[in-house]
Amino acid sequence: MNQIKIFSPATVANLSCGFDVLGCCLDNVGDEMIISENSLQEVRITSITGQDLPLETDKNVAGVAAKAFLADLGNSQGFDIEIDKKIKAGSGIGSSAASAAGAVFAINKLLGEPLSVSELIPFAMEGERLASGNAHADNVAPALLGGFSLVRSYEPLEVLSLPTPEELRVVVLHPLIEIKTKDSRAILRQSVSLKKAITQWGNLGALVSALYTSNYDLFGRSLQDEIVEPVRSILIPYFDELKKIAAENAALGFGISGSGPSVYAMCRGDENAEKVKSAIKEFYKSKAIDFELHLSGINKEGIKILS
């Protein structure tokens, strides 16, 4: 085996009360990547379609992640990486994570799996560091592991996989405006009130309980964010109206995906998800903003090998 083709999924991170620690993996939104061994002892980004992104290895998240992984292994094998970007850069659904996680996943496979999939997370995080200045794990972990990933600790890194209630569906609206992750982090307050922090961790504890018990109503009640959403939502056109529409159409919860501008609605079952998606589409198409709209199940597998 000297070539592999994979599907590398989009992810929703910063799941409301799980800011910086909780993300989940989507099923039918993702990049396709072909990674091949070369004989040059270097990592090259040979092709990017779908998005205008740098081909220089050291400026590309997939390149940086791949190099970090190979350096750690002490392996001088070279690889060519082709990326067909279906996830728009800057969308807030883990575009950089998909590329970075996909690269290390594929190379690990081609090298005969010297590391477990969860051991690949730190290298994929190097791609995130390049993209946003912050090596966060709540996109790359669910991209690699599938389902819901909880980052218990960054130092040392510890990521848990949590159970996925079967009927969960995610509607993602991506307004086609640009918010840079870096900028989106810059507007966060560096201190928060103890009272709000307590509310946040009460909700996150309950959210984890809801995942273990498939308690959809509890899941919905817990999907709140007292800290980041009030600040960041002002960057997202019609956020409050969208949240209201989601609630009126019985979505379980609604919030910002990643650092935006995408927003997500968690829904129970296909029928409800379709209804929420239609209502959001109906509302947003009257606005002067182009957008993409996705409906996805939770992808329990993570990155998939296509050939």
- Active site residues per annotation: 128, 181
| 250 lines the binding site for a copy of itself (CB under 8 A) | no
Q: What is the DSSP string of 7-71?
A: EEEEEE-S-GGGTTTEEEEEEEEEEEEEEEEESSSSEEEEEEESS----SGGGSHHHHHHHHHHH
* 152 or 180: CB nearest a copy of itself: 152
Residue 144 falls in which region: left (phi positive, over 0), alpha (psi -120 to 50) or beta: alpha
What's the residue count for the chain? 307
Return the structure tokens found at 189: 């307050």
| 209 lines the binding site for a copy of itself (CB under 8 A) | yes
| 270 lines the binding site for a copy of itself (CB under 8 A) | no
| 222 lines the binding site for a copy of itself (CB under 8 A) | yes
Pick from 113, 158, 248, 290 the residue near a copy of itself by CB under 8 A. 158
Give the span between the Cα atoms of 158 and 156, in whole angstroms: 6
| 193 lines the binding site for a copy of itself (CB under 8 A) | yes
Pick from 164, 200, 272, 296 the residue near a copy of itself by CB under 8 A. 200
| 153 lines the binding site for a copy of itself (CB under 8 A) | yes
85, 49 contact by CB (below 8 A): yes
Pick from 21, 120, 251, 273 the residue near a copy of itself by CB under 8 A. 21
Pick from 22, 45, 93, 117 the residue near a copy of itself by CB under 8 A. 22
Torsion, CA 104, CA 106, CA 111, CA 112, rounded to 10: 110
Q: From residue 30, give the alpha-carbon distance in Å to each of 143, 193, 224.
A: 10, 37, 26
**Segment contacting a copy of itself (CB under 8 A): 48-56, 83-91, 98-106, 146-154?**
146-154
Pick from 120, 206, 242, 273 the residue near a copy of itself by CB under 8 A. 206
Return the structure tokens found at 129: 């560091």
Angle at 24 between CA 211 and CA 30, to 5 degrees: 150
| 273 lines the binding site for a copy of itself (CB under 8 A) | no
Pick from 54, 114, 133, 205 the residue near a copy of itself by CB under 8 A. 205
Give the span between the Cα atoms of 194 and 191, in whole angstroms: 9
**Segment contacting a copy of itself (CB under 8 A): 38-46, 105-113, 214-222, 286-294?**
214-222
Q: Which residues form the interface with a copy of itself (CB under 8 A)? A: 17-22, 150-154, 158, 160, 162, 188-195, 197-209, 212, 218, 221-222, 227
